[in-house]
């Protein structure tokens, strides 16, 4: 991709935080604007060119039928599709509805529930169309996002590490909060990318970058979470920004079932 | 003070022919002296004046870490560590009831064992820039990054840590390829060792023949008493400093007290690993079902390899800014617990946690011997304490080798 790639930044159900990460890259923004053809970036410009695009950078999850159809059309209009952020890659925090009664939520929240046409689930982009590269995080990390953009410009696959959050944590010299303070942490089963920020501030990892490639979820619950918190609290910790990432979801459902069985035998 | 010539505290870095710089054979010919506690702060000041950096223990984020020390007041005076598998607690010695603590010596500077950091971060840094290349009108211009030389003191190095440095000397200096970053940093070190006077429940240096007494590989070694330090010289550089301190000679009472304090550490070590024929015993257990049991607990998070003072894996990446005409080559600590590290065309060779844990343990304790003629483990116990699920390699080895022993 040696000529200036035509890029569209498109959003679905999301908070816009990932796009803001791009706007936050103040030092690099001019260079980006110079190196690519930003055909559609509603956060930054009123220029909203129609497709086709070389690359669609997609933020947000699919939560309405209209959005689902809009995504299918977009996929036909772009050569490469890169999804950014927890919403687009796993369904986001709004996927908490997947574990509950969606109709009941609507009735509780809206004065006129009949005007709301949303789907019962929040799903990642890759559940609907082919995605070429997924960038994790809530929000995505600025330098990883720049790595994706620079790779697109240079024409190679972006290099993002698949190691656990523990490794940058250790390279920085941060003291493990699990071992030294007994604080539960999702770091061992979460993919790095944020720079292991939370443990450096005496907090456990919240799992913003989703599961590692081969997470040992049950071993983690057994050895890291449950000695330090109840099953219910562990379910809540796993149901964060990546609640519907398959391994996080399976584990939170498994732990939830344990609490249910115990309650029913009481 | 006369100039201090560094880099002669190990056989690996010694360039001169068998000089007197290594003291193991004629240990008692080197002088011993007594440094009173009142003079200790001035000693730290002297080190800071004579070197670019004094690295030593200090309290940070609930642990004793290694960092730059500018005055004796920054040392963990009166603090200790209480360790067990997956658990580390920093405690004031005076406020805990622990039989390990010598009641006559509660206010020590070095009254702890080993923490989450190891000296490896100063010799084999976690993240290093190796090279920069720039595209110019004349083509690519490569520039090796030469680090500025920093003369460092490592203050408070334990016997197991001296052994770990000796192992990394083999890996990075004498086993074929010389790592220039390691070499430069290594040649500019002054190592001040400290004999352990207590042990953690995770320590097993006696099994690995690496401690708790410092025998070689240091410039100076100290044993802390309630009223001062016994100071022992281990190299020419150590001798220069020793002379400038003008210490009085030690009394027989002080020698006895030092011996008693060092014996406390030996007595407190309860963890054992049977190393007799361990290479063959472990390698005969490659299909033992117990690996599956370990794999159900291990998270493949790599903490054990990050904290291990001998683990040396790294990976090298080329990183570029938005435009691809300036490229930086970076090296960072990597781990055999990462799926990607064994990725070949067609996929990763070690695609399960079972195979990765097995690779780590058998390399560390068995095939390391083939490769470097030494075990890769010095018995510091870091991997036991800092494993978030508390996997203890000594227990796993015992279970794995049960049948054959
Ligand atoms: S604090 Fe969390 S991320 Fe850091 S090493 Fe410990 S478990 Fe891993
Ligand atoms: S042994 Fe412990 S520290 Fe090492 S990878 Fe497994 S869980 Fe992590
Ligand atoms: S394997 Fe464990 S006990 Fe042995 S040297 Fe490494 S961290 Fe220390």
- CATH superfamily, domain A6-154, is NADH:ubiquinone oxidoreductase-like, 20kDa subunit (3.40.50.700)
Residue of B nearest to A145 (CA): B322
Is the CA virtual torsion A103, A106, A108, A113 positive or negative?
negative
pLDDT for position A215: 98
pLDDT for position A263: 84
pLDDT for position A172: 96
Listed in order, the ranges of chain A carrying CATH 3.40.50.700 are 6-154
| Closest to A152 (Cα-Cα) out of A59, A35, A47, A50 | A35
The pLDDT averaged over each successive group of 10 residues in chain B (405 residues) is 70 44 53 93 97 98 97 96 97 84 82 97 96 92 90 98 98 94 97 97 97 96 96 95 94 93 95 96 97 98 98 92 81 96 90 97 98 97 98 97 62
Residue whose structure tokens are 């460092």: B152
Q: Helices (H), strands (E): how many in chain B?
A: 14, 15
Spell out, as residue ranges, where chain A has pLDDT lower than 70.
1-2
Q: Please report which ligand is nearest the Cα atom of B85.
A: 2
pLDDT for position B1: 58
Q: Which atom of ligand 3 is nearest to the CA of B382?
A: 7
pLDDT for position B26: 52
Which contiguous run of DSSP H or E holds residue B79?
A: strand B79-84
Omega of the bond leading into A220 within 30 degrees of 0 (cis): no
* Residue B127 with chain A: CB contacts under 8 Å: 171
pLDDT for position A121: 96
pLDDT for position A151: 85
CB A142 within 8 Å of CB A24 = yes
- State how far the Cα of A214 lies from the Cα of B298, in Å rounded to an integer: 11
- Atom 4 (ligand 2) nearest CA: B304
- On whether any CB of chain B is under 8 Å from the CB of A188, the answer is yes
Each domain of chain B, given as residue ranges in start order, spans 23-268, 278-400
Best residue for ligand 2 mutational test, from B202, B292, B295, B301 (most atoms within 8 Å of Cβ): B301
Question: Is B377 touching ligand 3 by the criterion CB < 6 Å?
Answer: yes
* The model's pTM: 0.93
- On whether any CB of chain B is under 8 Å from the CB of A252, the answer is no
| Closest to B114 (Cα-Cα) out of B68, B156, B154, B70 | B156
pLDDT for position B323: 67
pLDDT for position B21: 45
Question: Is B378 touching ligand 3 by the criterion CB < 6 Å?
Answer: yes
Question: Is B205 touching ligand 3 by the criterion CB < 6 Å?
Answer: no
């Amino acid at each position: 991709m040696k000529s200036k790639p035509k890029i569209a930044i498109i959003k679905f159900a999301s908070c816009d935080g990932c796009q803001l990460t791009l706007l936050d890259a103040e030092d690099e923004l001019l260079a980006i604007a110079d190196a690519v053809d930003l055909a559609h970036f509603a956060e930054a410009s009123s220029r909203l060119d129609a497709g086709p695009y070389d690359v669609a950078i997609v933020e947000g999850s699919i939560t309405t039928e209209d959005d689902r159809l809009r995504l299918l059309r977009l996929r036909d209009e772009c050569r490469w599709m890169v999804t950014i952020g927890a919403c687009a890659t796993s369904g986001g925090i709004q996927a908490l509805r997947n574990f509950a009664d969606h109709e009941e939520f609507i009735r509780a929240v809206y004065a006129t529930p009949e005007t709301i046409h949303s789907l019962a689930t929040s799903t990642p982009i890759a559940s609907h169309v082919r995605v070429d590269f997924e960038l994790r995080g809530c929000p995505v990390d600025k330098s990883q996002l720049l790595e994706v953009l620079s790779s697109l410009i240079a024409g190679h696959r972006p290099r993002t590490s698949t190691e656990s959050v523990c490794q940058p944590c250790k390279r920085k010299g941060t003291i493990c909060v699990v071992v030294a303070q007994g604080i539960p942490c999702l770091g061992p089963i979460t993919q790095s990318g944020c720079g292991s920020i939370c443990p450096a501030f005496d907090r456990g990892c919240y799992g913003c970058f989703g599961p590692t490639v081969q997470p040992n979820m049950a071993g983690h619950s057994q050895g890291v979470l449950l000695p330090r918190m109840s099953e219910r609290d562990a379910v809540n910790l796993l149901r964060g920004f990546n609640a519907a990432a398959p391994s996080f979801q399976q584990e939170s459902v498994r732990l939830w079932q344990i609490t249910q069985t115990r309650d029913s035998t009481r | 003070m006369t100039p201090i010539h560094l880099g002669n505290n190990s056989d690996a870095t010694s360039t001169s022919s068998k000089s007197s710089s290594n003291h193991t054979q004629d240990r008692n010919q080197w002088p011993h002296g007594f440094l009173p506690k009142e003079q200790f702060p001035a000693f730290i000041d002297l080190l800071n004046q004579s070197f670019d950096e004094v690295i030593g223990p200090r309290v940070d984020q609930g642990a004793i870490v290694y960092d730059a020390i500018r005055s004796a007041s920054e040392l963990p005076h009166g603090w200790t560590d209480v360790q067990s598998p997956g658990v580390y607690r920093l405690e004031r010695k005076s406020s805990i009831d622990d039989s390990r603590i010598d009641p006559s010596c509660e206010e020590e500077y070095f009254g702890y064992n080993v923490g989450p950091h190891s000296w490896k971060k100063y010799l084999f840094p976690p993240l290093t820039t190796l090279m920069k290349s720039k595209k110019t009108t004349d083509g690519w211009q490569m520039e090796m990054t030469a680090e500025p030389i920093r003369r460092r003191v490592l203050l408070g190095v334990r016997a197991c840590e001296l052994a770990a440095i000796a192992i990394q000397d083999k890996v990075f200096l004498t086993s074929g390829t010389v790592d220039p970053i390691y070499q430069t940093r290594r040649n500019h070190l002054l190592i001040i060792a400290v004999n352990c006077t207590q042990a953690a429940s995770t320590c097993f240096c006696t099994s690995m023949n690496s401690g708790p007494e410092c025998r070689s590989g240091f410039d100076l070694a100290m044993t802390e008493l309630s009223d001062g330090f016994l100071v022992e010289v281990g190299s020419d550089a150590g001798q220069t400093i020793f002379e400038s301190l003008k210490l009085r000679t030690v009394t027989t009472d002080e020698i006895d007290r030092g011996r008693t304090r060092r014996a406390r550490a030996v007595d407190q070590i309860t963890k054992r690993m049977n190393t007799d024929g361990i290479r063959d015993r472990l390698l005969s257990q490659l299909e033992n079902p117990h690996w599956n049991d370990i794999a159900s607990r291990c998270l493949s998070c790599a903490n054990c390899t990050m904290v291990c003072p001998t683990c040396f894996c790294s990976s090298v990446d080329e990183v570029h800014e938005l435009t691809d005409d300036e490229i930086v080559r970076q090296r960072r600590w990597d781990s055999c617990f990462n799926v990607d590290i064994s990725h070949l065309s067609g996929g990763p060779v070690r695609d399960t946690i079972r195979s990765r844990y097995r690779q780590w343990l058998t390399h560390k304790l068995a095939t390391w011997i083939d490769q470097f003629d030494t075990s890769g483990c010095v018995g510091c116990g870091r991997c036991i304490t800092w494993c978030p699920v508390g996997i203890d390699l000594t227990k796993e080895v015992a279970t794995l080798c049960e049948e054959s022993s």
